[in-house]
């Protein structure tokens, strides 16, 4: 059996993949479309995000506090967004990504230290 924290983490990673594409993918694929078209496409993608995110949070909340669950989700968001930004959206890697990642490591430490 997969431990609940691993289940929650895996579902949150998948959820964040959908979320990132829903939030930012239209910038690459529909730059000349109206915001309404982009919103409809994004909402249809976001449906799958929520189908993964809701069970992830329910499972995670059985073993984590709410602040721990939120910090975990934020770290996963950054871990998904940076490769998406660099590899898919073709943004340059900056040293600022490292500094922001270190700040997130600090947040994880303080959220989970007790």
Residue 66 has what pLDDT? 95
Cβ-Cβ contacts under 8 Å for 89 (sequence gap 6 or more): 24, 27, 28
> Does the pLDDT value for residue 110 go beyond 90?
no
Residue identified by tokens 């993608």 is 45
For residue range 41-83, list pLDDT tens digits in order. Answer: 999 999 999 999 999 999 999 999 999 999 999 889 988 998 9
**Are the CB atoms for 20 and 81 separated by under 8 Å?**
yes
Torsion, Cα 50 92 104 17, to 10 degrees, reads 20
Residue 41's pLDDT is 93
Q: Does 114 have pLDDT greater than 80? A: no
Distances (CA, A) of 35 to 32, 53, 61, 70, 94: 9, 25, 35, 29, 29
114 or 26: which carries more pLDDT confidence? Answer: 26
Residue 68's pLDDT is what? 92
More confident residue, 29 or 61: 61
Please answer whether residues 19 and 49 qualify as being in contact, where contact means their C-beta atoms are separated by less than 8 angstroms: yes
pLDDT confidence of residue 31: 86
């Amino acid at each position: 059996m997969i431990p609940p924290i691993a289940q929650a983490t895996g579902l949150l990673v998948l959820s964040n993949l959908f979320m990132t594409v829903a939030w930012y993918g239209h910038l690459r694929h529909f730059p000349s479309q109206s915001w309404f078209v982009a919103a409809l496409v994004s909402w249809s993608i976001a449906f799958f995000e929520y189908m993964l995110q809701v069970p992830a949070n329910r499972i995670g909340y059985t073993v984590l506090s709410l602040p721990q669950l939120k910090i975990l989700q934020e770290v996963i968001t950054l871990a998904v967004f940076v490769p998406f930004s660099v590899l898919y959206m073709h943004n340059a890697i900056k040293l600022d990504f490292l500094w922001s990642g270190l700040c997130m490591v600090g947040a994880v430490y303080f959220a989970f230290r007790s």
